């Protein structure tokens, strides 16, 4: 592989917007990236600068938890995130941030782990939005590729948006949903790590 010092920095030749068919989220992505379906028939999408066998990619997938998540669930959900990461081989967490906005819970992790003979690097958001878990992931083939593509992929994170309906659903004053009114939430592991892939 050509070293990043010998490669020109990636440039946008255009930007498109992906809109979830069910209206749950949207994000922007480089128009010359290639679209793939997710493995295991997950609801979502994956984009990569690589046309075949992508090892560097940005993906979003969504799971219906069937239960409302509220701010009080932060601690138990964090346990699930930590358990999921602990299952990865040689996992090193470089950044860890937890945020709560009304009843929306967001976990952000940047980490490396061993995948066979390769060290992968991920940036991942886990968003608990009403009864949805949204997993937004940037995987780089290795830490060098992570740095090379980061500025471009970061735009997909920056321009990831939720519809007004979901913002209303997580507003504690408008929706009136608190722990005393919501079923118990079990720890949710980070996302069956490494199961993104393509089908």
**Is it the case that residue 46 has pLDDT exceeding 50?**
yes
**Is it the case that residue 45 has pLDDT exceeding 90?**
yes
Does 191 reside within a domain?
no
Q: Are 102 and 116 in contact (CB under 8 A)?
A: no
Does 116 reside within a domain?
yes
In total, how many domains does the chain have?
Answer: 1
The CATH number linked to 117 is 3.40.1000.10
Does 85 reside within a domain?
yes
Encode pLDDT of 103-137 as tens digits: 999 999 999 999 999 999 999 999 999 999 999 99
Mean pLDDT for 43-55 is 95
Query: What is the reported pTM?
Result: 0.86
Does 173 reside within a domain?
yes
Sheet holding 132-140, edge to edge: 34-36, 43-48, 57-64, 132-140, 118-129, 104-115, 92-101
Q: Exposed/middle/buried for 26, CB within 10 Å: 0-12, 13-18, 19+?
A: middle
Residue 162 confidence class, pLDDT cut points 50, 70, 90: very high
Does 84 reside within a domain?
yes
Does 11 reside within a domain?
no
Place of tokens 């959900």: 77
**Is it the case that residue 26 has pLDDT exceeding 60?**
yes
Does 8 reside within a domain?
no
* 74: containing domain: 25-181
Does 106 reside within a domain?
yes
């Amino acid at each position: 592989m050509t070293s990043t010092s010998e490669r020109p920095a990636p440039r946008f030749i255009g930007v498109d917007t992906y809109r979830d068919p069910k209206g749950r989220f949207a994000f922007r992505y480089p128009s010359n990236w290639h679209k793939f379906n997710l493995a295991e028939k997950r609801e979502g999408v994956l984009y990569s600068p690589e046309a075949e066998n992508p090892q560097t990619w940005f993906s979003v997938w969504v799971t219906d938890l069937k239960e409302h998540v509220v701010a009080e669930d932060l601690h138990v959900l964090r346990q699930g995130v930590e358990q999921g990461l602990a299952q990865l081989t040689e996992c090193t967490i470089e950044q860890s941030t937890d945020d709560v906005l009304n009843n929306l819970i967001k976990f952000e992790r940047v980490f490396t782990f061993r995948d066979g003979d390769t060290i992968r690097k991920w940036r991942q958001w886990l968003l608990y939005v009403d009864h949805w878990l949204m997993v937004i992931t940037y995987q780089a083939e290795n830490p060098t590729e992570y740095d090379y593509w980061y500025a471009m992929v970061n735009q997909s994170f920056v321009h990831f948006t939720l519809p007004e309906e979901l913002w209303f659903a997580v507003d504690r004053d408008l929706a009136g949903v608190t722990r005393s009114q919501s079923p118990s939430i079990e720890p949710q592991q980070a996302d069956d790590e490494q199961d993104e892939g393509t089908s």
